[in-house]
Chain A
């Protein structure tokens, strides 16, 4: 059995719970063992790098050091912000021995630099290779999706292994799940990120533009792998509508949920029932699409 380290990050215990559920459920189907980093701490997110550049590195450093001590060579960080902070730190440490020394002093933990961080899109890709591709028996044929990368799964030199202006990391998985990927313009635009509470107006403007473009492109759903993007587009959709925009009624799905559905995992186990904008309707479409196939099998 393949083993991968796991860093859920704080959001996945709260607002991003369905991302955690679907990531874990997919691992089970693909026969991959997720080993959580023991006693991991918060990556510091936007707050740390906004106010203190040492803290912004020291917090991810501690987690990297713990993972290394636990013998985890590869760690999945499904939250895009955690991924960007952890991998960004790993990349900087690899380039700067003085920084390693400073962080060693601050955290009192050694780190040799052996841990590789994977994002949720890379993780899904890895699972497809590990056998998930053969288990997608409930393809979502005809579901039109707009793959949304946002900022932290598209940008960051040496952090995101993809074309930064035209990322395609989700496409293989979406096609394998039977989805139709619609071309659209806002795949890498910012949703307002961590300003959900402190600059809600900005989030309303930016996220409204993203939802509108996805609708114009004919998407039935937006697919993301970032819990901040998810919360701004899904949870804040009512705020956006209340501000007189839209009105929008667009389900926002995690890539891991889409693959989970295609693998035949019950929607509730994936957390699809926890969304603010009804996402269960997607499963109805799948069932409809499957009906004729089942009948031909019976006949």
Chain B
């Protein structure tokens, strides 16, 4: 990903988060309510309130800890933190923004690759067909993640129940959706090529 070079100083992580989400993490007073309600805390190396705190601190060490954390990839997006934040700060959106930055900078911890591969397989399927479909999604996910052996008995059981359509539905606007992907994924979105 290209970086903006014209700035006199690099933006702080808190500023980048503010830009992407509208959330000013400096307002977080560390009450811990987000952490108390988070169902994924047992699967995280940093709690949601620690993520908020490290974005506030924003020095090299804090940013490094954050961008390599497994917490970013363990957020399930249940919105409990956001719903309960007494400062209306939307920690779930902060988690999304920091994950996005970690992804752009190629900082995904090895043990979290499965989550990333799933998201990538999902988006790739949608980019090409306009819609998600279980068969191509699962095939692509398994190819990308190398996770070939989980759930091998599930597919026949789903098939039996008519829950695994084998014909991929492709929408007429698939090329249009593909263009939307290209534009969103290119950082210099203002300078998109006219084609």
Contact = CB atoms under 8 A, between A and B. Distances in A.
Partners in one complex: yes
Interface stretch (A26-34, A112-120, A193-201, A249-257): A193-201
Interface string B127-160: 0001111100010010001000011001001100
B3 interface: no
Interface in B35-69: 39-40, 42-43
A286 B189 CA distance: 58
A69 interface: no
B3 to A, nearest CB: 17
Nearest to A48: B123
B115 interface: yes
Contacts of A106: 180, 183-184, 189
A107 interface: yes
A15 B88 CA distance: 35
A220 B189 CA distance: 53
B24 interface: no
Nearest to B82: A155
12 contacts: A15-B134, A46-B119, A47-B123, A49-B77, A59-B126, A62-B176, A108-B176, A151-B80, A156-B83, A190-B39, A198-B117, A274-B162
Contacts of B164: 14-15
Interface string A47-60: 11111111110110
Q: Interface range on chain A: under 10, 10 to 19, 20 to 34, or 35 or more? A: 35 or more
Given A14-B163, A195-B76, A276-B157, A62 B180 contact: yes
A106 B130 CA distance: 16
Interface of A: 10-11, 13-15, 17, 39-42, 44-56, 58-59, 62, 102, 106-108, 151-152, 155-157, 164, 189-190, 192-195, 197-202, 205-206, 235, 273-276
A42 B96 CA distance: 19
Given A47-B119, A49-B77, A55-B181, 12 more contacts: A39-B130, A44-B126, A46-B76, A50-B77, A58-B184, A151-B76, A157-B88, A197-B151, A199-B43, A201-B43, A202-B76, A273-B161
Contact of A199 (B74, B96, B138): B74
A32 to B, nearest CB: 25
| 9 cross-chain pairs, A with B, having the tightest CB-CB distances, nearest first | A47-B122, A10-B132, A190-B78, A151-B78, A198-B118, A47-B119, A54-B184, A55-B184, A155-B79
Interface of B: 20-21, 39-40, 42-43, 74, 76-80, 82-83, 88, 96-97, 99-100, 103, 114-115, 117-120, 122-123, 126, 130-134, 138, 141, 145, 150-151, 154, 157-158, 161-165, 169, 171-173, 176-177, 180-181, 183-185, 189
Contact of B163 (A40, A195, A274): A274
A195 to B, nearest CB: 6
Given A192-B76, A197-B151, A51 B99 contact: yes
Given A13-B165, A42-B126, A47-B122, A164 B83 contact: yes
A276 B161 contact: yes
Contacts of A157: 82-83, 88
Contacts of A108: 176
